[in-house]
Amino acid sequence: MENFEYSPEIIRELQLTELQMLKAFDRICRKYNIKYIIDAGTLLGAVRYGGFIPWDDDVDVRMLRDEYERFCKACKKELNTDYFLQNNETDPGYRWGYARLLKNDTVFFREDHEELKSKNGIFIDIFPSDVLPESGIGNKFCTCVSWLCRKMLYSELGCLHAPTPFRRLGFAFLNLFPKQWAHNGYKWLAHLFRNVNSSKVRCYGWGSREETIGYKKEWMEDIMDIEFEGILVKAPVKTHEILVHSYGEDYMTPPPVEQRIPKHPASYIKF
């Protein structure tokens, strides 16, 4: 595991595995009329390359909270033995604030995540989007509470791998508290702001700049088909707008060669 290195062949095999998972995900969503969009590098790849970014190692999809709950419910009937819907309810050792669709009988160990006791495998990320208040106080409160919940869930790893002794000590303190408190915090935020009139949403369980700013709710409501690796999946009608939000006006320009690397450093993968 210590000597693992990505190669173009491994990246492509990983992508083709995830493509089959995306097909299974899309099949369920279409059957139950569940709205979703491909997101982040997956959407960028669809627009720039008609499929995966050549060095990308994952698939990201996003949906509003109500659609997400409907999808989780549908998975209880629709998933075959090839796949497993992973969240904190189906896997108590799971430490993130969004779901994953795992492929059974595979392995994907991310560097410095090997200590986690959760079920492991090649995955696609499924991000639920909840209301993000646009008012100053509500926005800051939502941002701070979701940040604390994310740190609590990461503390199991942060106390071992944070870059400074001070940060490791802080994570060690947070690791004393039950992780369910953080998951309950996400649910509490979603309930608290559910009826707030806001045009913006975010995934509380992800901490990027784009999440802090917020996504337009309409991007997940007004959707269309887009081609991705020879199949049709869902994307925002305003694809240009969301890509500018995430990557800037020059999103069609690839990064420098030295930055064209997978974003999930792995220590071991088994297909």
Tokens for 23?
């097909």
Per-residue model confidence (pLDDT) at position 264: 87
- In angstroms, rounded to a whole number, what is the distance separating the alpha carbons of residues 176 and 231? 46
Per-residue model confidence (pLDDT) at position 2: 59
Structural element, H or E, at residue 160: helix 136-161
- In angstroms, rounded to a whole number, what is the distance separating the alpha carbons of residues 129 and 145? 16
> Whose CA is closest to 230, among 13, 14, 59, 49?
49
Q: Give the three-state DSSP class for 3.
A: coil
Per-residue model confidence (pLDDT) at position 111: 85
β-strands 123-131, 60-64 pairing: parallel
- In angstroms, rounded to a whole number, what is the distance separating the alpha carbons of residues 57 and 74? 26
> Whose CA is closest to 30, among 188, 163, 208, 223?
223
pLDDT, tens only, 178-234: 999 999 999 999 999 999 999 999 999 999 999 999 999 999 999 999 999 999 999
Amino acid making up residue 184: N
* 231-234-239 Cα angle (round to 5): 115
Per-residue model confidence (pLDDT) at position 211: 93
- In angstroms, rounded to a whole number, what is the distance separating the alpha carbons of residues 58 and 240? 21
- Per-10-residue mean pLDDT of the chain, 271 residues long, equals 82 97 97 97 97 96 97 94 95 94 94 89 97 92 96 96 95 96 96 94 94 96 98 98 96 95 89 93
Tokens for 234?
């869902």
Sign of the C-alpha dihedral computed for residues 88, 154, 268 and 61 taken in this order = positive
Whether 126 contacts 100, CB under 8 Å: yes
Per-residue model confidence (pLDDT) at position 136: 87
Per-residue model confidence (pLDDT) at position 135: 85
> Whose CA is closest to 44, among 265, 204, 250?
250
Whether 63 contacts 37, CB under 8 Å: yes
Per-residue model confidence (pLDDT) at position 103: 97
